[in-house]
């Protein structure tokens, strides 16, 4: 979607997304809203979501069961592949993921797509709130997962850092904007798109 130097960046905005949705090959939209402590993201999705968006659940689709590896460990490839196929993701489709506003869960979905081998994906900067604020159309209700996707998950396409390795890389004086609670800033820092 609106590539620069032949390569789309990791983020898309309201205008670019609206143009892509009106185009001849609209992206697959994944609504990944979730809140620590609830309510479940599906409730927000049912109350209102971007037209044609499919709800993907963080706990059921984007993570394995909680345990010694953490609250949301990497999902098994088969589980992730099945969820993406249910959502209509194919190997050649463009995918845009969004959450409520701060991109924390959307960044995870973006990273998982790339980790499992899907390169044509972006995070919708500002999420659902940005869409509504811009006057974008909103659909309500269950929505229908289109299915029919042919995405094949191939684990290991992005580096993985465990807690011990992260601790080893921790700088004594981290950058001022390293984690501010703002997922969009963190995502931009990780992807090199922070200006």
pLDDT at residue 171, as a whole number: 62
CATH code for the domain in which residue 92 is found: 3.40.250.10
Asked, for residue 166, whether it belongs to a domain, the answer is no
pLDDT at residue 177, as a whole number: 44
Residues 1-36 pLDDT 10s: 555 545 678 999 999 999 999 999 999 999 999 998
Asked, for residue 3, whether it belongs to a domain, the answer is no
Which structural domain range is residue 65 located in? 11-158
Cβ-based burial of 168 (10 A; exposed 0-12, middle 13-18, buried ≥19) = exposed
Asked, for residue 55, whether it belongs to a domain, the answer is yes
Indicate the SS3 state at residue 128.
Answer: helix
Sheet containing 121-124, strands listed edge to edge, beginning at the edge strand earlier in sequence: 11-12, 121-124, 95-98, 28-31, 54-55
pLDDT at residue 162, as a whole number: 74
Residues 79-133 pLDDT 10s: 999 999 999 999 999 999 999 989 999 999 999 999 999 999 999 999 999 999 9
What is the arithmetic mean of pLDDT over 60-82? Answer: 91
Cα separation, 49 vs 57, whole angstroms: 14
pLDDT at residue 50, as a whole number: 97
Asked, for residue 191, whether it belongs to a domain, the answer is no
Any idea which residue has 């995870």 for tokens?
Answer: 108
Number of domains present in the structure of the chain: 1
Question: Both ends of the chain: CA-CA distance in Å?
Answer: 20
Put simply, whether the predicted model's pTM sits higher than 0.95 gets the answer no
Residues 141-179 pLDDT 10s: 998 878 899 999 999 998 887 777 777 777 665 554 444
pLDDT at residue 103, as a whole number: 92
| Average pLDDT along the chain | 86
Asked, for residue 194, whether it belongs to a domain, the answer is no
Asked, for residue 106, whether it belongs to a domain, the answer is yes
Asked, for residue 5, whether it belongs to a domain, the answer is no
- Bridge partners (DSSP) of residue 122 are 96
Asked, for residue 81, whether it belongs to a domain, the answer is yes
pLDDT at residue 7, as a whole number: 60
């Amino acid at each position: 979607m609106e590539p620069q130097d032949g390569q789309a960046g990791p983020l898309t905005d309201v205008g670019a997304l609206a143009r892509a949705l009106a185009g001849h090959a609209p992206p697959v939209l994944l609504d990944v809203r979730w809140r620590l402590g609830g309510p479940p993201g599906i409730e927000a999705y049912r109350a209102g979501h971007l037209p044609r968006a499919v709800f993907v659940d963080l706990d059921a689709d984007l993570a394995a069961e909680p345990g010694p590896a953490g609250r949301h460990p990497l999902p098994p490839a088969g589980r992730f592949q099945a969820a993406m196929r249910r959502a209509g993701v194919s190997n050649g489709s463009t995918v845009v993921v969004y959450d409520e506003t701060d991109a924390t869960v959307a960044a995870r979905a973006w990273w998982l797509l790339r980790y499992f081998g899907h390169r044509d994906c972006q995070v919708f900067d500002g999420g659902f709130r940005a869409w509504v604020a811009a006057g974008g159309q909103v659909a309500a209700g269950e929505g229908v997962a289109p299915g029919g996707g042919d995405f094949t998950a191939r684990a290991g396409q992005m580096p993985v850092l465990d807690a011990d390795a992260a601790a080893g890389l921790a700088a004594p004086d981290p950058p001022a904007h390293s984690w501010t609670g703002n997922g969009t800033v963190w995502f931009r820092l990780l992807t090199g798109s922070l200006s």
